Amino acid sequence: IALVFQNPEFQFVTNTVADEIAYSLKWEKISKGHRAQRIADITAQFELEPFLGRHPYQLSMGQKRRLSVAISIIQGQKLLLLDEPTFGLDARSTFAMLEQLEQLRAQGTTILMVTHDANIVNHFSSRVWLIHEGRLVKDSKEEVMTTCS
């Protein structure tokens, strides 16, 4: 299971982007070469190569968001819990993030995402739970949202 916080800074524990990406692989029993390849792949996938030597707090909000998702999926977790994973992303980055998440879903990853964006819900969800005042008010497999509040 991996969790992506709404505020990405809450999940950073190292002093560089490179160390942050490598951190969760630290205890896996894989060769250095395989580890390096996975790091290179995820770095390229999330367009983080130029920032490897920077402190995660020095990144823009969109870069932090991409880093937080990258470090959450690098181990191939089968369940992702995402709290507003597109917050702070421009339109291009939002679409790219959602496409990457859709690829993971198609490969068997279960994704539970909290969002207020009706477009995301209507175009990328396979099931919707509508929560109002802390209570489940709708459980649907159909397009159910025109606005979120």
Instruction: State the pLDDT at residue 149.
Output: 47
- Span 76-133, pLDDT tens digits: 899 999 999 888 888 888 888 999 999 999 999 999 999 888 888 888 888 888 888 9
Token pair recorded at residue 142: 């159909």
Give the mean model confidence (pLDDT) for residues 136-140. 88
pTM of the model: 0.84
Cβ atoms within 10 Å of 82's Cβ, excluding its own: 21
Q: How confident is the model at residue 143 (pLDDT cuts 50, 70, 90)?
A: low
> Is 73's pLDDT higher than 60?
yes
Token pair recorded at residue 28: 């896996």
Question: Which has the closest alpha carbon to 48: 24, 68, 76?
Answer: 68
Which string of b and e fits 119-129 if b means at least 16 CB within 10 Å?
ebbeebbeeee
Instruction: State the pLDDT at residue 144.
Output: 53
Instruction: State the pLDDT at residue 98.
Output: 92
Residues with Cβ within 8 Å of 141's Cβ and at least 6 positions away in sequence, in order, are 126, 127, 128
> Is 147's pLDDT higher than 50?
no
- 3-state SS class at 41: helix
> Is 148's pLDDT higher than 80?
no
Angle at alpha carbon of residue 93, lines to 88 and 97, rounded to 5°:
100
- Span 2-41, pLDDT tens digits: 999 999 999 999 999 999 999 988 888 888 899 899 999 9
Q: Terminus-to-terminus CA distance in the chain, angstroms? A: 28
Report the amino acid identity of residue 53. G
Q: How confident is the model at residue 65 (pLDDT cuts 50, 70, 90)?
A: very high
Instruction: State the pLDDT at residue 126.
Output: 84
